[in-house]
Amino acid sequence: MGILQSIILGIVQGVCEFLPISSSAHLILIPYLFNFNLEMSNSAKLAFDVALHVGTLISVLAIFWKDWLNLFKGAFNKVFKKKDSFENKMFWYLVLATIPGALVGFLFEDIVENVIRGNVLIIALVLAVVGVLIYLGDKWASKHYKKETSFEQMSLKQTFLIGLSQALAVIPGFSRSGTTILTGRLLGVSRDAVAKFTFLLSTPIIFGAAIVHITDLVITKEVIIGIITSALVGIVCIRFLLSYIKKHDFSIFAVYRVLLALAVIVKLIFS
């Protein structure tokens, strides 16, 4: 892998981790579409993907570190000072919502790695289907719910079901943010609330994945450049999405997912 490819993949990760378009799918499909010769084993590729995710973990912490600090303070005050708060409640909601995704990732990662990650057709189809579902679900929620749930009003049921849906993101193409946003919208959570919850929810999952695969990672200048690139681009994309969804729906992301899937299928047919 060259430095240019590392930068490109870092940009791809930084953009796609936070937009509902599946970073894991892009890290597979972009090299396929543009004939990148990564010259890496499957375990090394997965480790490099995790390294790029570490970059986006840095992005989340850079923007939401105050939120996490307050969440930890809330949990601490509840345990040691018996003081209840919204921050304490949301901290434990995030802990519970993280468990399904962590379990599924641990139990089925090898199956996904061996069966799905190498099948670009399956990834493309999943990308397109979930894109259509995101579009339809968001439109349905806008019409169905007269009053949507804010971040502070989110319930245990809503947060746990959102976390449960995150487990599907182990399959490239579903998208962690895509599935959680879709589930949140179907449950009546506002766009900005489910986006913020999604970003916070990504923190422990990405951290856990990095710890699990850290032994597979060889630190090189390409890896370091990839991490820095994904971190910087991720910060820009988080701010963009939080601003964008205040006035727009998720239609553009759904259309993009379908177009990318079509591009992959066309290449499969004619290659």
User: Residues 230, 8: contact at Cβ < 8 Å?
Assistant: no
User: Residues 16, 26: contact at Cβ < 8 Å?
Assistant: yes
How far apart are the two ends of the chain, measured CA to CA in Å?
Answer: 23
Burial class (CB in 10 A: 0-12, 13-18, 19+), 81: exposed
Rounded Cα distance, 268 and 207, in Å: 35
Token pair for 95: 């802990």
Rounded Cα distance, 271 and 269, in Å: 6
| Cβ atoms < 10 Å from Cβ of 139 | 15
User: Residues 127, 233: contact at Cβ < 8 Å?
Assistant: no
Token pair for 101: 């995704």
pLDDT tens-digit profile, the chain (271 residues) = 678 888 988 998 899 888 999 988 988 898 888 887 666 666 666 677 778 888 988 999 999 999 999 999 999 999 888 889 999 999 999 999 999 988 987 788 778 777 777 889 999 999 999 999 999 999 999 999 989 999 999 999 999 999 999 999 888 999 999 999 999 999 999 999 999 999 999 899 888 877 776 776 777 888 899 999 999 999 999 999 999 998 889 999 999 999 999 999 999 998 7
Q: Helix or strand or coil: residue 21?
A: coil
Rounded Cα distance, 264 and 125, in Å: 9
pTM of the predicted model as reported, rounded to 2 decimal places: 0.89
